[in-house]
Structure 1
Amino acid sequence: MQRMGMVIGIEPTHIEEYKALHAAVWPQVLERLHQAQVRNYTIFLREPENLLFGYWEYHGQDFAADMALIAADPETQRWWRVCVPCQRPFESRQAGEHWAMMENVFHMD
């Protein structure tokens, strides 16, 4: 299992919309994440900096392949079309990233 953290900005005018969307994530999107071996997915909001911090645990063996399955899913693509306008990606993110992945530097069980 891999613990993974990621960060992205959020447009201040879209915070309430983003909260409402995530209070009722579409079941098909959640199922696709589950099929891709993603567990314990959590998103935190930090205001007034307007940052979203995401955390999940990946239980699969081929992260790139599982992420490709998510990206190819039409319902997930539709979800992204709704959520992406709310987000403000970092200019410093790596090529191919929307959320900027973070280095795990500490974990305590």
Structure 2
Amino acid sequence: MERMASVMYLKDGFTEEYKARHDELWPEMEQALKDHGAHNYSIFLDDNTHVLFAYLEVESREKYDEIASTEICKKWWAYMEPLMETNEDNSPVSKNLTPVFYLA
């Protein structure tokens, strides 16, 4: 199991909508995450900066990265695009974080 973390950026004024959309995560998107090896996926928000911190555990980074090419993931990105800073393909602008400490 590999641990992954990243930051993403929520646009101002969309906190409630972002949370609502994740509270109602599409079953197909949830299944795609699981099919691509995601476990223990959490997203946290810094209310002051609108920075999102995402943490998940994956079976393999390579397997997980394949989710980006699925139609359901592309559809989810388009759905979330109005709420977040995104790239040209609607994927969220994100920065991977480097692990520096772990306590099991």
CA distance in 2, matches of 1:84, 1:106: 32
* 1:15 alignment counterpart: 15
RMSD: 1.8
CA displacement at 1:104 relative to structure 2: 0.5
Q: Does 1:101 align with 2:99?
A: no
Residues 1-109 of structure 1: matches in 2 within 5 Å?
1-60=1-60, 63-68=61-66, 70-88=67-85, 98-109=93-104
**SS where residue 84 of structure 1 aligns?**
helix
CA distance in 2, matches of 1:97, 1:42: 16
Which 4+ runs in 1 deviate beyond 3 A?
none
TM-score, with length taken from structure 2 = 0.86
| Ranges in structure 1 where 5+ consecutive residues have no aligned partner | 90-95
**Alignment deviations for residues 5-36 of structure 1 (CA, whole Å, 9 cap, x no partner):** 10011111221111110111101111111111
TM-score, with length taken from structure 1 = 0.82
**SS where residue 14 of structure 2 aligns?**
helix
The answer on whether the counterparts of 2:44 and 2:54 sit within 8 Å (CA) in structure 1 is yes
| Ranges in structure 2 where 5+ consecutive residues have no aligned partner | none
Identical amino acids, percent of aligned pairs: 29
